[in-house]
Amino acid sequence: MDLRQRLDGAVVMAPMTRGGNLPYRRLCAELGARVLMSEMTVARRLKQKRRGEFALIRRAPGEPYFGVQLAGTDAEEMGWAAALVESRGADLVDVNFGCPIDHFTRKGMGAALGRQPKRIRRIVEAMKRAVAAVPVTAKIRLGWNDADRNYLDQARAAVDGGADAVIVHGRTRDARYRQSADWEAIGEVAAAVPVPVVGNGDILFPHHISEARARSGCAAVMAGRGVLIKPWLFREAIGGYEDITPDDRLAIYRRYVDLAREHWGEDEHGLTRVREFVAWHLGFWCRYAPRRADLTWPGMQTREGAAFARSPLESLLARGDEAAIAWLTDRLVARDDVDPAEAPAPSAAPGSASDRDESAEG
């Protein structure tokens, strides 16, 4: 199956720092994900043989189609890294030209490269030369800011370099995750280049998938925050919207804990890692809200709170305060019962959703 066939109609799991950890990818694959991406991996750190970076390119057992996203500024180094991840079992290699995080853009990576289409072409060319058989894709944003929306130049440069597909996050770097994605702009890219285009932004419910594809002409959509909030989105993409019960949600979260314990281990060090990741994921899971009673839908850019809750457990799962997250983390990791009557009173307000968003999706 070639890449175009692989992507056709797929919901691709976005490359996400922390969010794309191996146990979470396994969970998403069990829930129907067909194409999954690693966390953003820095090519130079691979060359320095950093153990933590090599962990990011490890394929999960049973992962149906696994892409590794690489970040870097040196074309030859990126080519070397592309060959390495191909040899380690990746099905495709993606290049990060869109990460907005200051730590990386100050080093010239991610969205900083989006300001230099000629460098995009050179990096993709070097990676295409280096790999034997796997596709190379490029993930871009719409530009640095609204005054510099050069997404067509970026996409064409990537294709000129040999990219087999282009992934477009429908926001500028300066917009971060604060504005709705611009699917008209994504559609302009799909119309302008001869390779498949994957559109990324604000996919949260199954009707968003069909609407986004119809609006843009994309071969596929990519979901990041949407599948952190509700990993069963992949199942909904196949079978339609589910008014999922809080007990069913809890079962999914418990499954993640089982996969995390298997991955990081049952010793003190392993369980510490499990707790860290479960607490981090709960900060997204608490944002889930079902279709409203008036049949309208929650959006990605707003928080619904717990007003919709139809049971004490649903109300508890909607809490994003530190006390609730810590208590739920302890219960889930210990595999204890979750009785809402025993939960602590709310603590301080949750942290900024935009800060958490920015730490996730590359």
**Gap between the Cα atoms of 46 and 270, Å rounded:** 23
Q: What are the structure tokens assigned to 31, written together?
A: 């829930």
Q: What are the structure tokens assigned to 345, written together?
A: 């009173």
* Residue 89 CB contacts under 8 Å (≥ 6 apart), including other chains: 59, 66
| Three-class SS of 42-85 | EHHHHHCCCHHHHHHCCCCCCCCCEEEEEECCCHHHHHHHHHHH
From 28, 99, 218, 286, the catalytic residue: 99
The pLDDT, as a whole number, for residue 194 is 98
Percent of the chain with pLDDT over 70: 96
Q: Are 332 and 338 in contact (CB under 8 A)?
A: yes
| Alpha carbon distances (Å) from 101 to 23, 55, 203, 327 | 24, 21, 21, 30
The pLDDT, as a whole number, for residue 280 is 98
| Alpha carbon distances (Å) from 224 to 18, 36, 70, 204, 295 | 11, 11, 17, 9, 24
Q: What are the structure tokens assigned to 318, written together?
A: 């909607």
The pLDDT, as a whole number, for residue 331 is 98
| Alpha carbon distances (Å) from 233 to 80, 208, 226, 260 | 35, 11, 7, 20
Closest by CA to 253, choosing from 359, 336, 311, 141, is 336
The pLDDT, as a whole number, for residue 179 is 83
Q: Are 213 and 2 in contact (CB under 8 A)?
A: no
The pLDDT, as a whole number, for residue 362 is 61
Q: What is the mean pLDDT of the chain?
A: 95
What are the per-10-residue average pLDDT scores of the chain (362 residues)?
Answer: 94 97 98 98 97 97 96 98 98 97 94 97 98 98 95 98 98 87 97 98 96 97 97 98 98 98 98 98 97 92 84 97 97 97 84 54 62
Domains of the chain, each with CATH number or no CATH: 3-239 (3.20.20.70), 246-358 (no CATH)
The pLDDT, as a whole number, for residue 125 is 98
The pLDDT, as a whole number, for residue 353 is 54
> How much is the pTM?
0.95
Give yes or no: 218 in active site.
Answer: no
